[in-house]
A and B are shown apart, each in its own frame.
Chain A
Amino acid sequence: MIAFYTLLYKELLRFWKVAFQTVLAPVITALLYLLIFSHVLEAHVQVYPGVGYTAFLIPGLVMMSMLQNAFANSSSSLIQSKITGNIVFMLLPPLSYLQFFGAYMLAAAVRGIVVGAGVFVVTVAFTTTPVLHPLWLIAFALLGTGVMGALGIIAGIWAEKFDQLAAFQNFLIMPLTFLSGVFYSIHSLPPFWQAVSRYNPVFYMIDGFRYGFFGVADVAPQLSLLVVGVCFVALSAFTLILLKSGYKLRH
């Protein structure tokens, strides 16, 4: 267990030492989205009865920040270690692939949740958001960051150069998170795009997370939990298989 805690500690220390970029910067980005979108749309859009657009936006922004940062943490840590070569420091000791997986994923979740909490705290200045179902909220926060942490490990292992990782981020993670109902309810979309959104797992993360705040959502939270839970198990299993095989890590 000491080995696992050490790897987790190292991963946490790594992002904490550069918290300016890894925590503060994403909080500011989310704040900018909030300022701009709520300024433009507050007067025109009401998604759920009694919920103002700014309040509607906050859970989505918090979740989006959590997901993007969870992904960024594990993927950038791994690719940096691979490119600088210091990944050998983790490959030489008797760390098991389960310990490796657990530490990277947990650190990713922690970074995501720290950023998400930061975004939420800052938004309190704009509007008060109710928290009706905290357990649902926590469940989606954990599972959502877990999925992205695992995806980040996969991307970090697969990518051999920074631009490959950037491609993964720009062509997969960004579209999935932006086209997931962060800024709108999918009921406002044309039927075709509504149907497409239902194949986006991030939609369920955001929707379920939002249910934790307002007690209303586009789909039933149980369905969202099931989808996100299945994604989490499937991606974790895939990541473990990759790590166990030594794919791209042990030649």
Chain B
Amino acid sequence: MTRYASELPAIRVHKLHKHFGDLHALQGVDLEVQQGEFFALLGPNGAGKTTLISILAGLARADAGDAQVLGHDVVKDYRAARQLLGVVPQELVYDPFFTVREGLRIQSGYFGLRRNDDWIDEVMANLDLLDKADRNMRTLSGGMKRRVLVAQALVHKPPVIILDEPTAGVDVELRQSLWAFIRRLNEQGHTIVLTTHYLEEAQTLCNRIAMLKQGRVVALDSTANLLNSVSERYLRLKLEPDRLPPDLQSCAVSHADGFQVLALKQFADLEPMLAQLRSAGICIKEMELTQPDLEDVFVQIMGRAG
């Protein structure tokens, strides 16, 4: 695909504000996504994710601040900005007058592409839509409509792709094939920004994450750093006899299903714990170490922030 000056951020958002009546939906959002990133925009319902995406896509106008796609202002230079951007909207919308293929051809035309059938076929194949190509949109199931929405966003091979909850209501199989496809696009150089409430998707796919809460960015870091920011790991032990020596009571977190759960601040604490168990004559039947996941990080950050 076409390369753009590499120092140019794929997306740049500066001091963005948006009001809906009394509601201050975006309260000065600053964000930069570099080219080639796989970026997640996370946050609870109503945090402002879709509003931010709408402003980038030109569907909504900011009250203050500015936004650029590959250096093109989304208002002043809207045609260039929109040509570079592919957006999968959160709302499940479709045009009941057309078939899947007609819809994709028309969408290509809007982006100035006339003979685009090779790429349309490739996208449909990747989204497992080929056998639905000549079906009217009205007759498709919800998940199928969602796939068509994804396909429509990709007809013009946009260098920057934003997916607003693309996997809501989509079955496991498609979710996997969709992400495999998007990953390939990312490897070919497309910048990907996604929102999702399935945090494990963001954790496995994305290199960097922004968390939004009530219109503010409350966390912005690499996925690895965010995961490390929660130091707590847990040691789950099945013991015989099923009791803890007194010295270990202080790190006990819970005791359920025959497992003693102990908080582990650092790996260096593991050795003394085991030694105490051994000297108390308690034998370990099963052991597992749970790593903090993005959900733990999310809950912690959302609880802490304002």
Contact = CB atoms under 8 A, between A and B. Distances in A.
A93 interface: yes
A90 B95 CA distance: 11
A250 B61 contact: yes
Contacts of B83: 93-94
B58 A250 contact: yes
B94 interface: yes
B256 interface: no
Contacts of A246: 61
B48 interface: no
Contacts of B94: 84, 86
Interface stretch (B106-114, B166-174, B176-184, B286-294): B106-114
Contacts of B97: 13-14, 17-18
A196 interface: no
B87 interface: yes
A10 B97 CA distance: 10
A85 to B, nearest CB: 4
Contact of B93 (A13, A86, A95): A86
A14 B96 CA distance: 10
Interface stretch (A1-9, A30-38, A141-149, A216-224): A1-9
B109 A6 contact: yes
The 5 nearest A-B residue pairs measured at CB: A6-B109, A93-B110, A85-B93, A94-B79, A94-B82
Interface string B80-119: 1111010101010111111000110011111111100000
B268 interface: no
Contacts of B82: 92-94
Contacts of B102: 13
A44 interface: no
Contacts, number: 85
User: Which applies to chain A's interface (DSSP): helix, strand, loop or mixed?
Assistant: helix
B152 interface: yes
B112 A84 contact: no
A18 B87 CA distance: 30
Given A93-B107, A95-B110, A84 B95 contact: yes
B156 to A, nearest CB: 8
A96 B79 contact: yes
Contacts of B87: 92
Q: Size range of the interface on B?
A: 35 or more
Nearest to A96: B79
13 contacts: A3-B109, A3-B110, A6-B106, A10-B109, A13-B97, A81-B95, A85-B93, A89-B107, A90-B110, A93-B107, A94-B110, A251-B59, A251-B60
Interface string A150-165: 0000000000000000
B259 interface: no
B89 A94 contact: no
A104 to B, nearest CB: 14
Interface string A82-102: 001110111111111000000
A3 B82 CA distance: 13
Q: Which of A2, A17, A92, A96 has the most CB of B within 10 A?
A: A92
B106 A9 contact: yes
Nearest to A1: B112
Nearest to A2: B112
B54 interface: yes
B119 to A, nearest CB: 15
A9 to B, nearest CB: 7
B110 A7 contact: yes
B57 interface: yes
B57 A92 contact: yes
Interface in A54-98: 81, 84-86, 88-96
A13 B58 CA distance: 27
B58 A6 contact: no
Nearest to B20: A251
Nearest to B137: A86
Contacts of A10: 106, 109
A81 B82 CA distance: 20
A251 to B, nearest CB: 5
Contacts of A92: 57-59, 82, 85, 87, 153
Contact of B54 (A14, A89, A251): A251
A85 B59 CA distance: 12
A103 to B, nearest CB: 10
Contacts of B111: 3, 93-94
Contacts of A89: 93, 95, 103, 106-107, 110, 152
Interface string B8-35: 0000000000001000000000000000
Nearest to B136: A17
Interface in A225-251: 246, 250-251
A88 B59 contact: yes
A14 B106 CA distance: 12
A55 B171 CA distance: 64
A2 B115 CA distance: 11
